Amino acid sequence: MTNRQWLMTGAVVALLLMLPLFLPNFWLANILGRAMVYGIVALSLTFLAHYGGFISLAQTMMAGVAGYAVAMMAPTAIPLGPFAMSYGYAIPLAVLAATLTGALVGLIAVNTREIYLLMITLALAVGFSLFAQSNTQWFRGYEGIRNIVGPEVFGMPFRTHLVFYYVALITAVLLYLLVLYVVRTPFGLALQAIRDSARRTSAIGFSVALHRIGAFALAGFIAGCGGVLITFYNIGITPSSIGLWPTVAVLIMAVIGGLGHPVGAFLGALIYAVMDTFASSIIGHDRFNTLIGLVFLTIVLVSPDGVWGIGKRLAGLGGGKEPVSDPVAKLTAGGK
């Protein structure tokens, strides 16, 4: 990122930190906070898609693994799960579970690419949600696990609007920076190389499988963080939280926002949250899906790189082709 972009990022974060002074609680927690927690899951997809060329529909599933894991271990669950413990242990373990799931998905899909990967991850995701729905012993079937209210933070319940908002914000910012950092490491550049030619990448010494699995594990970690927060936000988790529609919704968010840059994930999630909340007041409840479909379709038709792409073009930043990778692009431009 250029200095200007760093400056903008800093300004936006500062603004977000101050928002509670101006915004009503509903906007804070249920529009912005919600956009951030779902945006984190979308971020994991954007990361995979933009840098690795993997369109994974298994991100909601990875989030769901973390969600279910934390629910099974949560001390507040009703009824209490088989592995109840304090949130201090439950949360990291849940994120770990999601990370491992990510690695597992990467392992299963290690030899598939592009559209094949899309289909396979979709099938995995649906399979998992059906499993959660069928398993009554641990996943508690159709009704799911309820009353996952989250830990207390500084003595305040997690679902207090301010607490939720700040935790979501800080997590989102950290993960966002993590992605920007990782793609500048050799790992990130190698991912982009694999996207173009796996065969050549391996001929110059990189282990393609390891990088792929690594990418999915990292995506699982990110999605897992989102999954835990989403579960707290929804006070529980059910198979419908990870079903077909939420799975597709994450893709919709990422695409509306723009797969071209990690920030697109959050833009998309915000747009989605606003539409989801207020569309029914505009168009009537019953045709909400048509509206979402139309907006989504229009954006895909007009701008393959989503709102972020439109914004970039409007801002005139996009004179030429966006340098695909950070690290070396800078060198080429800088010419030392």
Partner 1 sequence: MTPPPPLPTDTDALVLKGVGRRFGALAAVSNVSMTIKQGERRAVLGPNGAGKTTLFNTICGDFPPTSGRILLFGQDISHLKPHQRARLGIGRTYQTSLLFTGLSVLENLYLAVRGARKGRFSMLKAGPDDADVAHARALADRVRVTQLLSAQVDAISHGQRRQVEIGMALAGNPKLLMLDEPAAGLSAAERPELVALIRSLPRELTLVLIEHDMDVALSNADIVTVMKDGEVVVENTPDLIADDPVVQSIYLGEGH
Partner 2 sequence: QDVIRIGSITTLEGPFATGGQDAYRTMEMAFEAVDYTVAGKTIEWIRESSDATPDVALARARKLIEQDNVDIIIGPLSGAEGIALRDYSRTLEGRTIVNGSSGAADTTLRDPSPNFFRFNTEGTQWMAGLGTHAYNDMGAEHVALVAADYAFPYAQVFGFMHEYCELGGAVTKLWSPLNTTDFSSIIAQIPSDADAVLLIQGGTDALAFLTQYAEVGGDLPIIGGSITADQTLLSARGPHQRLMEGMVAAGPIADLNDDPEWLEFVANYRERWPDGFDSPSIHAFNYYTNTIAVLQALEEVGGDLSDNQAAFQEALANVEFTNPMGANVRLDDNRQAISDIFLTRIVNDGGTMRTEAFGRTEDVSQTMGMDTEAFIALGSPSRDNPDCPPAR
Partner 3 sequence: MSLQFILTVTLNGLTLAALYFIVASGFSLIFGLMRTVNMAHGALYMVGAYIGFAVFDPIYGSAWYSYAWLIAIVAGIAAVAILGVVMQVVFLGWMQGQELRQALVTIGLSIIIADQLLANFGGSPFQFFAPDMLFGPVQVPGVGRYPVFRLFQVGLAVAVGVGLWLLLNKTRLGIMVRAGVDDRQMLAACGVNVPLVAATVFALGAALAGLGGVIGATAQPMALGVDARFLLISLVVVIVGGMGSIGGTALGAILIGLAEQWGQVFFPTYSVILTFVIMAAVLAIRPQGLMGRKIA
Tokens linked to 14: 């500062």
Q: How far is the CB of 170 from partner 1 (least distance, A)?
A: 21
Q: Does residue number 214 form part of the binding site for partner 1 (CB under 8 A)? A: yes
Contact string 111-140 vs partner 1 (x = CB under 8 A): ------------------------------
Please, what is the minimum distance in Å from the beta carbon of residue 55 to partner 3?
6
| Smallest separation, CB 200 to partner 2 (Å) | 44
Q: Is 186 in the site for partner 1 (CB under 8 A)?
A: yes
287: contact with partner 3 by CB under 8 A = yes
Q: Which does 145 bind (CB under 5 to 8 A by kind): partner 1, partner 2, partner 3, none?
A: none
Q: Which does 147 bind (CB under 5 to 8 A by kind): partner 1, partner 2, partner 3, none?
A: partner 2
Q: Is 286 an interacting residue with respect to partner 3 (CB under 8 A)?
A: yes
From 22-30, 175-183, 261-269, 327-335, span contacting partner 2 (CB under 8 A) = 22-30
CB of 161 to partner 2, least distance (A): 9
Q: Tell me, residue by residue from 70 to 99, as one string, x for binding to partner 2 by CB under 8 A and - for no binding.
A: --------xx--------------------
How far apart are the C-alpha atoms of 100 and 94, rounded to whole Å?
10
Q: Does 289 bind partner 2 (CB under 8 A)?
A: yes
Min separation Cβ 26 and partner 2, Å: 4
Q: Is 236 in the site for partner 2 (CB under 8 A)?
A: yes
Q: Which of residues 300-329 bind partner 1 (CB under 8 A)?
A: 321, 323-325, 327-329
**CA-CA distance, 3 to 9, in Å (whole number)?**
10
Instruction: Match 């997809």 to its residue by tokens.
Output: 45
Interface with partner 1, residue 332, by CB under 8 A: yes
Q: Are 140 and 72 in contact (CB under 8 A)?
A: no
| Site for partner 3 contains 55 (CB under 8 A) | yes
Answer for the pair 23, 243: CB distance below 8 angstroms, yes or no: no
Residue number with CB closer to partner 3 (28 or 193)? 193
Which CA distances in Å does 160 have to 169, 194, 233?
14, 44, 10
Query: CB within 8 A of 87, min separation 6: which ones?
Result: 70, 74, 75, 150, 151
Question: Does 293 contact partner 3 by CB under 8 A?
Answer: yes
Rounded to whole angstroms, the Cα distance separating 213 from 102 reads 8
The binding site for partner 2 (CB under 8 A) comprises 24-26, 29-30, 34, 78-79, 130, 133-134, 136, 141-144, 146-147, 149, 159, 234-236, 238, 240-241, 243, 245-246, 276-277, 280, 285-286, 288-289
The binding site for partner 3 (CB under 8 A) comprises 55, 108-116, 118-120, 122-124, 126-127, 130-131, 134-135, 244, 248, 251-252, 255, 286-287, 289-290, 292-294, 296-297, 300-301, 304
The binding site for partner 1 (CB under 8 A) comprises 181-182, 184-190, 192-193, 195-197, 199-208, 210-211, 214, 218, 321, 323-325, 327-333
